[in-house]
Amino acid sequence: MAFNDLREYISFMRSKKKLIEIYDEVDSILEIAEITRRATYFHLPPLLFKNVKGYPGWSVITNIFYSIEAFYELFNTKNLEEITSSFLEKMLGFMPITFSGKIKSLFDMLKLGKLLPSKKKPEFKEADLDFNKIPALKTWPKDAGRYLTFSILITKDPDTGVHNLSVYRMQILNEKEVIVHWQALKRGSLTSFKYKEKGITKIPAAIVNGVDPIIAFVAASPVPPGLDKYVFSGILRNEGVPVHELDNGLLVPSTAETVFEGYIDINDVRLEGPFGDHLGYYTPPDYYPVFKMEKAYARDNPIFHATSVGKPPLETEWIGKATERLFLPFIKMLIPEIVDMNLPEYGLFTGIGIFSIKKYYPGQAKKTMMSIWGLGQLSLLKMVIIVDADVNVHDLNQVLYTISTTVDPKRDILIVDNIITDSLDHTTPYPPLGSKIGIDATRKFKEELGKEWPEELASDENVVKKVMPLWEKIKSQYHL
């Protein structure tokens, strides 16, 4: 379901009685974050704070991604994989053989044109606004200050012109400057290397807040490199994103609540942090580049979108779970033996990944591990567990049973050292380099085991057929 803007989404949730509107005065320093985390833990719907201390005329919305149910509402389906799967089928169908196939392919391509961003007059206008005038949150007591936690940084690839929209934490320094915490593997950071190679040290950028939640979700997601996030937003919305071109050449959503136009000075790096992050610990200070604001824009009575991270499951984990489902068709296309995957919420999205595969040959599980660790955001996974196709990766008890009955530690555990990992992981001695573990929990071929795999237990079918009526009677008697 495509919403024109954040306001339409809020009206939609209000109509469904799934919006908690808070009129009591609440402070953006620690209080909003504390209430928000408690709401997420209880799977309460979004919170709209209407009376933020020191910020008259502003509202703050949090907890938009309050559980996986939030995504079912946004996309109007519980089958999230089908959204991207159907798109891939259309794209792969653009190589027709027959004449009738070519006609159908042309028609599908024309329909896909509606998914592209289109220019539209902005809802915002230039405003007397700066970073000290917005209700940005301080989320944990020992954070270095107030942070933008769900604002979107927009940059553009200098070679391809592809726009990148990303959600990074950004520490407010003063009215015109914030520090951008982008990690080594993030698209914004990788784009900065291209500018640096061209001798450009001031990267055109914009910081946007308050958009259609699907656009916000895409900005927070690991969209494959090279794919414009505006285009991917259009795919998920089934409708192109309306955009406006700023003076610095960047396209921003026309319906955004606030926009800060400026540049990132990659020669100006300053100490950012500490910050209470999604691992449940404070990440220590480190040096990152500074965004410098030149112009500001806002809508009347603006709404500020924020979140608070911490120990799971909070919004970060539900975004990760939706990403898992939506991106599974892409991953299956790149690694065809994969059947399903589970990135458990308590595994922190980059901590543990469980994958089932169709196993056809010896050594395939370890080959799959290597493929996974070479694939975008999945390269950050610290632990990868591979199971057979008949194992339900979402049933952790079944996974534990499988590990217990298929794994010989010496043969089936792979340790990879001195490799890229999540730079927020405090367990690594020299981030972003650390180690990874892979567990082959598949049934072993004779070449792997040295003998035939034993026969699994199974009931006698005739006995099952005979006792079923009695078993149904017992179940009915004890309300099983």
How far apart CA 3 and CA 254 sit, in angstroms, is 13
Alpha-carbon distance values, 205 to 168, 219, 295 (Å): 13, 14, 11
The two structure tokens encoding residue 429:
């001695």
Strands 383-388 and 352-357, sheet pairing: parallel
Q: Within 13 A of 161's CA, how many CA atoms are on the CB side?
A: 2
Contact present, 428 and 421 (Cβ < 8 Å): yes
277 included as an active-site residue:
yes
> Whose structure tokens read 């975004």?
319
Contact present, 170 and 153 (Cβ < 8 Å): yes
DSSP 160: T
Put residue 379 in one of left, alpha, beta given phi > 0 → left and psi -120 to 50 → alpha: alpha
For 218-231, b/e burial (b = at least 16 CB within 10 A) is bbbbbbeeeebbbb
> Which is the catalytic residue, given 143, 277, 340, 422?
277
Closest by CA position to 372, among listed 359, 388, 356, 360: 356
Q: Cα dihedral sign for 365, 367, 373, 375?
A: negative
Contact present, 444 and 453 (Cβ < 8 Å): yes
> Whose structure tokens read 């916000």?
216
| Residue 474 burial by Cβ neighbours in a 10 Å radius (0-12, 13-18, 19+) | exposed
Which residue numbers are catalytic? 277
